[in-house]
Amino acid sequence: MMALLIRDLRLAVRAGGGFGLGLAFFLIVTVLVPFAVGPQSDLLARIAPGVLWLGALLSCLLSLDRLLALDWEDGSLDLLATAPLPLEAVISIKALAHWITTGLPLVLAAPLLGVLLNLPLDGYRWLVVSLLLGTPALSVIGTFGAALTVGLKRGGLLLSLLVMPLYVPTLIFGAEAARRGAMGMGVETPLLMLAGISAGVIALMPFASAAVLRINLR
């Protein structure tokens, strides 16, 4: 399992696997928002948590179609499926590698971009905490979408269409926690709900993803 994780991380960093791409996309989205809604700092401060959450979600979405596609094309996915490691574990490791290469950098970059959007001082802590709790769920749910569409030639757009409704609960609770944090309100309830979703999804989703992948590899 460690070997697979290290292999995936190496591939992501060295082989131009779009490691920095998600981060750059996050930057662009956040920079474009003030151009679209105007530079008033109070308005930006109010929408900053939501914009940052949405930007993180979109960058996550953008990197999903490369998650399994390369392994599918060169056949290493077939090898992994016949390996002694259960496919559920393989898919969990894939999601973990995706989170480390996409989710974690987003979490670290979010406070920097918060400065651009004039995020209130109280908000930084809860923004980072909510993203830290929420992005694993985004990666795991996204892996399910990637496994569903892996065999398709033009799967990218379909992948977004399938995954976006699945992201709704995570986005609601994550953005709500960040918003309440920025406004100095209690964040406990949405944060606990978000953590619950993440935990549930991490525990159960690999089974669905592996089932879907087995069907596609048939």
Partner 1 sequence: MSIWEYANPRKFLQSSERVMPVLWLSSGVLISVGLIWGFFFTPDDYRQGSTVKIIFLHVPAALMAINAWFMMLVASLIWVVRRHHVSALAAKAAAPVGIVMTLIALATGAIWGQPMWGTWWAWDPRLTSFLVLFLFYLGYIALWEAIDNPDTAADLTAILCLVGTVFAVLSRYAVNFWNQGLHQGASLSLDEKENVADAFSNPLYVCMAGFALFFLALVFYRTGTEIRARRIKALLARQRQEA
Q: Which residues bind partner 1 (CB under 8 A)?
A: 144, 148-149, 151-152, 154-155, 158, 161-162, 164-166, 168-169, 172-173, 176, 189-190, 193, 197, 205, 208, 211-212, 215-216, 218
| Torsion over CA: 140, 145, 150, 156 (sign) | negative
| CA 70/CA 82 separation, integer angstroms | 17
Per the structure block, which two tokens stand in for 141?
């749910």
Q: Reduced to 3 states, what is the DSSP secondary structure of residue 185?
A: coil
C-beta closer to partner 1: residue 4 or 81: 81
Per the structure block, which two tokens stand in for 53?
């959450």
Per the structure block, which two tokens stand in for 188?
């406990």
C-beta closer to partner 1: residue 126 or 144: 144
C-beta closer to partner 1: residue 29 or 194: 194
State how far the alpha carbon of 75 is from the alpha carbons of 8, 72, 78, in Å.
15, 5, 5
C-beta closer to partner 1: residue 129 or 159: 159
Provide the minimum distance between the beta carbon of 106 and partner 1 in the complex, in angstroms, as a whole number.
Answer: 22
Provide the minimum distance between the beta carbon of 168 and partner 1 in the complex, in angstroms, as a whole number.
Answer: 4
Provide the minimum distance between the beta carbon of 208 and partner 1 in the complex, in angstroms, as a whole number.
Answer: 5
> Pick from 57, 61, 66, 60: which is nearest to 12 by CA?
66
Provide the minimum distance between the beta carbon of 137 and partner 1 in the complex, in angstroms, as a whole number.
Answer: 11
C-beta closer to partner 1: residue 101 or 170: 170
Give the position of tokens 């591939």: 11
Provide the minimum distance between the beta carbon of 205 and partner 1 in the complex, in angstroms, as a whole number.
Answer: 8
